[in-house]
Amino acid sequence: MPGPLRSVAVAAALVTGVVVYFGGLLGSQSRDATGTAKSSAAAAASLLNGFAAGDTDSYIQELEQRVAVTERRDPKALALLGLAYLQRVRETGDVSAYPRAEESLAEALRLDAKNLYATTGLAALAASRHRFEEARAIAERAIALSPYAAAPYGILGDALVETGRYEEAFEAFDRMVALRPSASGYARISYARELLGDTEGAVAAMRLAVEATGPAAEPAAWATVHLGNLQLEQGRLARAAKLYRHALARLPGYAPAVGGLARVEFLLGHHRAAIGLYRDALARADLPEFAIWLGDAYAALGRTADAEQAWERAVKLEAAFTAYGGRNDLETALFDLDHDRNLRDALARAREGEKERPSVEGEHVLAWALYKNGECREARSHSVRALRLGTKDTGAMLHRSLIERCLGNVDAAVEFRERALAANPYALVAFGRSGP
């Protein structure tokens, strides 16, 4: 379906930002005479959970000053600074902070080879850049440092999901929850169930994630938005909108919730309302998906020039992601395929992306690219693999319908179209056309 891929723990799956927990590790920190260790532990807890430790920009300035005073010999401050830079990316979409995060985390690790914050932060950074094999290797190093810390298992599972190693990934998620039941762990269990086609089970697990966030506004808003997304993907728009509004009540202006409401308005055919909300979301977080969907809303109204301008913004944002160390062949290929542009080059990128991420998402994008380039027989084999887990991905099912029709398999084409509509009555609207 139109729009960028979701990815786990990164800008590409379910978990937005790096949502990780260090179990009892933080509680074991000692407090020095000034109370610095305790405040550092609290800040690390928030940042490693994927949430702000306060005013992120002010906190970065404070840490930069602390690092300057100690002449970069304070591994704890360096690790916190690296995590704070990652938080800035999550909040604003400004990927130019990635190199600074990497430098700070690497320096912390150079000074203290057993620094768990820095090691897990580097794993998170690799995952955020869609470098999933690298993320897996670093997460395994973190597990070796502290086998009873929950966080590395979450990142390990994320990386394994993105490289198609689902049984191992789900074991990692189970281990994470066994070590410390948390919003982050429940969210990953939710995504695992969603991948297996258990949508109601996914909703149940995400409700547990919401309950586990406690009174803090940002974690509660984050989990509530993801619960809304699950409702949205099942066509339960009123429920989704209610959850997005609940998230905004907890954290006014929260960009993912604003974007969720925009998506609801788009699916209802309220394109002008969707445009206003997408522009608001973009002003708060400069993310490619908001720009893409803004362009789609303009296109639905026939405002071609405005649509192209929004899509060009998305292209520039994806280019910046690549320039600062990210890998996004699947995302950029999917955008081009959904918008009928650069089809041969998109196929090449889809093949390369699937090699790096041999997951159901990689297979789906490659199948779509092959179909768009008239190679329907090969497309079908990849489409079969894209749906092998039973995932109720309506985009993948509608693409399969088109592929089957291309091969003359009319009954199969109708079957997959009906399956998509059974999963989400708004599937054809989201698909952006009258449908197969």
The three-class DSSP label of residue 16 is coil
Domain annotation covers residue 279? no
**% residues pLDDT > 90 (the chain):** 77
Q: Would you call 414 exposed, middle or buried from its count of C-beta atoms within 10 A (0-12, 13-18, 19+)?
A: middle
Are residues 67 and 85 in contact, defined by beta-carbon separation less than 8 angstroms? no
Choose the final residue of a domain: 150, 180, 210: 180
Going from the C-alpha of 224 to that of each of 196, 231, 280, 344, 400, the distances in angstroms are 22, 11, 19, 39, 31
The three-class DSSP label of residue 13 is strand
pLDDT, tens digit, for every residue of 367-382? 999 999 999 999 999 9
* pLDDT higher than 50, residue 398: yes
> What range does the domain containing 410 cover?
328-431
* pLDDT higher than 70, residue 24: no
Q: Would you call 233 exposed, middle or buried from its count of C-beta atoms within 10 A (0-12, 13-18, 19+)?
A: buried
Query: What CATH number is associated with residue 333?
Result: 1.25.40.10
Choose the final residue of a domain: 180, 195, 216: 180
Considering the entire predicted model, what is its pTM?
Answer: 0.89
pLDDT, tens digit, for every residue of 262-308? 999 999 999 999 999 999 999 999 999 999 999 999 999 999 999 99
Tell me the longest C-alpha to C-alpha distance in the chain: 76
328 or 22: whose pLDDT is higher? Answer: 328
Q: How many domains does the chain have?
A: 2
Interatomic CA distance for residues 432 and 415, integer angstroms? 20
Choose the final residue of a domain: 180, 196, 221: 180
* pLDDT higher than 90, residue 326: yes
249 or 64: whose pLDDT is higher? Answer: 249
pLDDT, tens digit, for every residue of 48-89? 556 565 677 787 888 888 888 887 788 999 999 999 999 889
